[in-house]
Amino acid sequence: MTDLLAPILPQPDPDWAEAFRVPIIECDQPLQALGIATGFAVWPAYHRLGVPNAQPECYARTEVFERLLHAASLLPDGLRLVILDAWRPFAVQQHLYDTLYDILRQHEPEADPAELTRRTREFVAPPSTRAESPSPHLTGGAIDLTLCDSEGRWLDMGSLFDEATPRSYTRHYEAIAEPDEAQRRIRDNRRILFNSMSAAGFSNLSSEWWHYDYGDQLWAAHLGKPHALYGPAQVLALEQLWRQQLEGLHS
């Protein structure tokens, strides 16, 4: 039985160069729309926030969908997963990376560019469409999510989604020696999310309590897998679907 309140143990920070060297053996699972799922809620955050090119739907690979349903089934009565983002177009990844980098540079104009890059990468993965090293969200294997109660009230997780401060580090509240009642509640909310997702086979990005991976290179590197399952994916337009279907008839 999964102990949802087990402490979150220290995790290694991601080594992006190492992760991007993990080979990918694409399994060709399609992207699935998550919006009609009944096992969890979906709130496409970037679309709702007006980010250019953000999708009005959240998509994930088939196995990711199934594992989200499993994670949701482990939650205590009255709690639900809320999916905030999943598959992400490259244009959105580039926008998020460039925007955060520019804000950090404006806030600290004397900072070294290498340090600005390091800090940007804590919260936004390097944009990449390369077949051998795609950004995690471009694969359909990365998920951003939080928790809500049965009435749709979001639980207090101690920082905002995408907040670029140390409060967003997954273990931030584990490190408080004598937490007060509010801090204990936040810590326990993060533990519930972390332990349910871990039990379903996901890995967590240590700098983002909301970010989990399955099947991509970050997941494979974190869990010591010999290869990743997912390379770059694409939501096909109707014209592309028709072409693909017709080509299949004549192959």
Residue 231 vs residues 31, 64, 96: alpha-carbon distances, Å? 12, 14, 21
Where are the domains positioned within the chain?
Answer: 16-249
Q: Is 28 annotated as a binding residue?
A: no
Q: Rounded to whole angstroms, how far apart are CA atoms 58 and 212? A: 15
Q: Are 169 and 206 in contact (CB under 8 A)?
A: yes
CATH topology of domain 16-249: Muramoyl-pentapeptide Carboxypeptidase; domain 2 (3.30.1380)
Cα–Cα dist 18/49, whole Å? 33
Instruction: Taking residues 172-185, report their average pLDDT.
Output: 97
Known active-site residue 115? no
The Cα 62–Cα 54 span in angstroms is 21
What are the helix (H) ranges across the chain? 16-19, 45-48, 62-73, 90-107, 113-123, 181-199, 217-223, 238-249
The overall average pLDDT reported for the chain is: 92
pLDDT value of residue 151: 96
For the segment 111-155, what is each residue's pLDDT rounded down to a tens digit?
Answer: 888 888 888 878 887 788 889 999 999 999 999 999 999 999 999
144: annotated binding-site residue?
yes
Residue 121: DSSP 8-state: H
Q: Supply φ then ψ for residue 24, to 5 degrees.
A: -115, 125
pTM of the entire predicted model: 0.90
Alpha-carbon distance of 26 to 227, in angstroms, equals: 9
CA 236 from chain center: how many Å? 21
User: Which of 1-5, 22-26, 52-56, 242-246 is predicted with the least confidence, judged by mean pLDDT?
Assistant: 242-246
Enter the tokens of residue 194: 């972390």
Residue 107 labelled as part of a binding site: no
Query: Of 115, 151, 178, 208, which one is the catalytic site residue?
Result: 208
pLDDT digit string (tens) for 27-80?
A: 999 999 999 999 999 999 999 999 999 999 999 999 999 999 999 999 999 999
